[in-house]
Amino acid sequence: MRGSGARLLWLLVLSLAWLGPAWGDSEGLEGKEEDGEVVAEEEEEDEEDDVVSDELKEEDSVLVLHEHNFARALSEFRLLLVEFYAPWCGHCQRLAPEFAQAAATLRNGSEAVRLGKVDATAQVGLSTEFGINAYPTLKLFRDGNRTHPLAYTGRMDANGIVRWMQRRAGPSATLLQDTDTAAAFISAQDMVVVGFFKDLKGEAAQAFYEAAGEVVDVAFGVTEADELFEAYGLSVDTVCLFKKFDEERTDFPVDPARGLDAAELTRLLRVHSLELVMEFSNETSSRIFGAKIPHHMLLFLNKSVEEQLALRDDFRKAASNFRGEVLFVVVDVDGYGATVLPFFGLTPADAPTLRFIKMENNRKYQMDEEAFSATAVRDFVQAVLDGKVKPHLLSEEPPEDWDTRPVKVLVGKTFEQVAFDETKNVFVKFYAPWCAHCKEMAAAWEELGERYKDHEDIVIAEIDATANELENITISGYPTLHYFPAGPGRKMIEYRSTRDVETFSKFLENGGTLPEEPPVVSKVPPSLGQGFPSTPGWLQAPARWGMDPALPHSRMGTGCLAILFLPSPSAGDQDPREQHRHRGAESVRHG
Ligand SMILES: *[C@@H]1O[C@H](CO)[C@@H](O)[C@H](O)[C@H]1NC(C)=O
Ligand SMILES: *[C@@H]1O[C@H](CO)[C@@H](O)[C@H](O)[C@H]1NC(C)=O
Ligand SMILES: *[C@@H]1O[C@H](CO)[C@@H](O)[C@H](O)[C@H]1NC(C)=O
Ligand SMILES: *[C@@H]1O[C@H](CO)[C@@H](O)[C@H](O)[C@H]1NC(C)=O
Ligand SMILES: *[C@@H]1O[C@H](CO)[C@@H](O)[C@H](O)[C@H]1NC(C)=O
């Protein structure tokens, strides 16, 4: 999985590296230089047939930005949130009305705040300058600063955008000066965060304000009053989370040596602001997946059945031991939860039932003998965490005609015997039924099957990897093609070249390698926005555990993503959000 993730990133970097020079010809790159504005304008005057104007026009309250008016917009508005979009991108089309609504609201509220949009496929200069590799990408430009925009991290709806912007436009935390106002502030809402700092100008307080800008769904208060430190029993700088449910109050004291890290505080607040047991719904799913807790423990039940509902009590009791490490979620098979059942190989009739899932690789675990007591659930979760439980692998039954067709149909149960048959060279396509890229290559695979159906030692096969899981092979993108050569040693070679019959054949005849060839990505045409499918592949995916609904689209990649969640990299590594972005690459194929 890791290797494959790295490959995706690598492809991305390679593609961009190649595209860079092509885009470099455009005048937009000048903007990168100091005084870019002036340089660009001088050049523009030379171009006679171009209509050049820095006039700011609006469409549905959203500024329409391009290379000629971008600098002017930056100079006129203190906070400018810019959406870089592609006209063909489905996510962008869905965002448009929400973005326009947010723009109208914010425009009304302040002269200094505006929303703008850039067609990144037409404005190649701007797109290159700001390193746009996913659609939509939203960036916030503050105080006219062109070189250090802030990545947008809020929700992709009108309310979410408004709140996120307001947090940055005004004070992000309410100043609390005495016990009465503090008590009133805390009791006014279900959940508030209060920062107690001896020095509001210090670094810890600044990090706190930064976190307040990220966790926009929760009210933030801040104080430096001695009176308040005393009233809440504190002696050192501390961030307190007050809730009207579960633990009621959680303290995060600031380590005097390490200080306060805004990203870490944001993560802690996200984790601890979740209810101990979350109910899975369309409203909670972004919080469930957004908290990026590495494991989920799920209780599937039918909420219309009284006895099943009662199981939640013990489930909750077990949950408190694993706060932050395992998120406990109740899934109603009669409601929104029905959409994720196939992903677990379940039907509504299986409820009540428990599943543990590791988000990093989608491995699922279940009890041998199901028991719902708090002790049983706690022991089971602990056993999985300790590596004492084997994953539960899904498998379909083999279809009757599985080995009479030119392309053999494998399932989990038959995979081992066929793929690792030492007398055969086996070429397997791992696919998802909903993946458009798989459909695109389906005909080529059938043709390959036809071509080799009479070869004794060659088997062309396919397996629906969403319904069949294998112990040691994790599929992170669809389609994935693996070649299992004859002979001992259980070898497996991943095929990474173009997906056409001739190249497949060459690969097979060559014993699982291809003569040195330039990378496929180098054929990407420099003009974007042409020949892209109107419906990107993985959008057709059914709702799935592990799918982050907020993922933007990348224009790179040639497959559908199987795993859309990765554990946060260790400190000092790349921003996990960036990683998600790349992993969540929209499956748009080039060339
Ligand atoms: C803009 O402000 C006016 C007056 O305050 C209000 O009536 C109107 O509904 C606001 N429009 C939006 C889109 O918020
Ligand atoms: C933009 O912001 C960065 C980081 O805050 C700062 O280093 C840089 O000097 C700013 N540039 C301008 C032109 O203000
Ligand atoms: C959740 O679903 C309900 C009912 O289908 C709908 O009214 C609501 O807008 C949805 N909420 C979100 C955040 O999608
Ligand atoms: C849930 O239980 C109710 C009551 O027994 C039943 O009518 C309904 O069909 C069940 N839902 C599902 C999806 O099985
Ligand atoms: C999977 O890998 C483990 C450890 O290398 C090995 O013991 C096991 O036999 C493998 N299972 C299969 C089905 O290949």
Residues with Cβ within 8 Å of 158's Cβ and at least 6 positions away in sequence, in order, are: 98, 99, 101, 102, 105
Distance CA 576, CA 587 (A): 20
Say if ligand 4 is within 6 A of residue 347 CB.
Answer: no
Residue to probe by mutation, ligand 2, list 80, 139, 148, 168, most atoms within 8 Å of CB: 148
| Whether 33 contacts 43, CB under 8 Å | no
Domain 174-272 CATH class label:
alpha beta
- pLDDT at position 359 is 82
Q: Which H or E run contains 105? A: helix 90-109
User: Which residue's alpha carbon is nearest to atom 6 within ligand 4?
Assistant: 304
Name the residue type at position 50.
D
Distance CA 280, CA 315 (A): 15
Third-level CATH fold of 24-169: Glutaredoxin (3.40.30)
Structure-token match 């047939």, residue found: 49
Residue to probe by mutation, ligand 3, list 159, 282, 284, most atoms within 8 Å of CB: 282
DSSP state of 374: H
Known catalytic membership, residue 560: no
SS3 34: coil
Say if ligand 4 is within 6 A of residue 351 CB.
Answer: no
Architecture category of domain 277-385 in CATH:
3-Layer(aba) Sandwich (3.40)
SS3 301: strand
- Tokens coding 185: 């502030």
Average pLDDT by consecutive 10-residue portion of the chain (591 residues)?
37 30 29 33 43 86 96 96 90 92 92 94 94 90 95 87 91 94 94 96 95 90 97 97 91 94 92 92 81 91 95 95 94 89 89 91 90 97 96 92 93 94 95 85 96 94 92 82 91 89 93 64 25 23 38 43 35 27 29 26
Ligand 4 centroid to residue 349 C-alpha, Å: 8
Ligand nearest to the CA of 144: 2
Q: What are phi and psi of 460, to 5 degrees?
A: -100, 125
User: Which residue's alpha carbon is nearest to atom 7 within ligand 4?
Assistant: 304
* Helices 2-24 + 576-583 axis angle, to 10: 90
Structure-token match 């947010």, residue found: 102
Say if ligand 2 is within 6 A of residue 574 CB.
Answer: no
Ligand nearest to the CA of 107: 1
- Tokens coding 51: 């209509």
| Whether 164 contacts 113, CB under 8 Å | no
- pLDDT at position 577 is 31
Atom of ligand 2 nearest to the CA of 147: 1
Establish whether the linkage from the previous residue to 479 is cis, with ω within 30° of 0: yes
Say if ligand 4 is within 6 A of residue 334 CB.
Answer: yes
Atom of ligand 1 nearest to the CA of 61: 13
Ligand 2 centroid to residue 149 C-alpha, Å: 9
- Tokens coding 312: 């939640």
Radius of gyration of the chain (CA): 27
Distance CA 85, CA 307 (A): 49
Active-site residue identified among 19, 74, 86, 92? 92
User: Which residue's alpha carbon is nearest to atom 10 within ligand 3?
Assistant: 282
User: Which residue's alpha carbon is nearest to atom 5 within ligand 5?
Assistant: 472
- pLDDT at position 549 is 35
Ligand nearest to the CA of 37: 2
Ligand 3 centroid to residue 578 C-alpha, Å: 28
CB pairs under 8 A, 24+ apart, for 105-112? 105/158, 105/162, 106/161, 106/162, 106/165, 106/166, 107/61, 109/166, 109/169, 110/169, 112/77, 112/78, 112/79, 112/169
Active-site residue identified among 435, 436, 475, 588? 435
Ligand 2 centroid to residue 72 C-alpha, Å: 17
| Whether 292 contacts 267, CB under 8 Å | yes
Ligand nearest to the CA of 391: 5
Ligand 1 centroid to residue 108 C-alpha, Å: 6
Q: What are phi and psi of 103, to 5 degrees?
A: -60, -45
| Whether 477 contacts 562, CB under 8 Å | yes
Known catalytic membership, residue 240: no
Sign of CA dihedral 470, 473, 476, 481: negative
Ligand nearest to the CA of 336: 3
Within the chain, all domains assigned CATH 3.40.30.10 are found at 24-169, 174-272, 277-385, 408-517
Active-site residue identified among 52, 63, 82, 89? 89
Ligand 3 centroid to residue 162 C-alpha, Å: 19
Third-level CATH fold of 408-517: Glutaredoxin (3.40.30)
Atom of ligand 4 nearest to the CA of 351: 14
User: Which residue's alpha carbon is nearest to atom 13 within ligand 2?
Assistant: 145
DSSP state of 178: S
- pLDDT at position 513 is 84
User: Which residue's alpha carbon is nearest to atom 3 within ligand 3?
Assistant: 282
User: Which residue's alpha carbon is nearest to atom 14 within ligand 2?
Assistant: 145
Ligand 1 centroid to residue 107 C-alpha, Å: 9
Known catalytic membership, residue 89: yes
Ligand nearest to the CA of 103: 1
User: Which residue's alpha carbon is nearest to atom 1 within ligand 3?
Assistant: 282
62-64 and 113-119: which strand pairing? Answer: parallel
- Tokens coding 164: 């996120």
Q: What is the CB < 6 Å shell around ligand 1? A: 104-105, 108
Structure-token match 């070898």, residue found: 491
Q: What is the CB < 6 Å shell around ligand 3? A: 282-283
Atom of ligand 5 nearest to the CA of 470: 13
Active-site residue identified among 182, 327, 346, 438? 438
Distance CA 584, CA 134 (A): 9
SS3 311: helix
Known catalytic membership, residue 435: yes
Ligand 2 centroid to residue 569 C-alpha, Å: 27
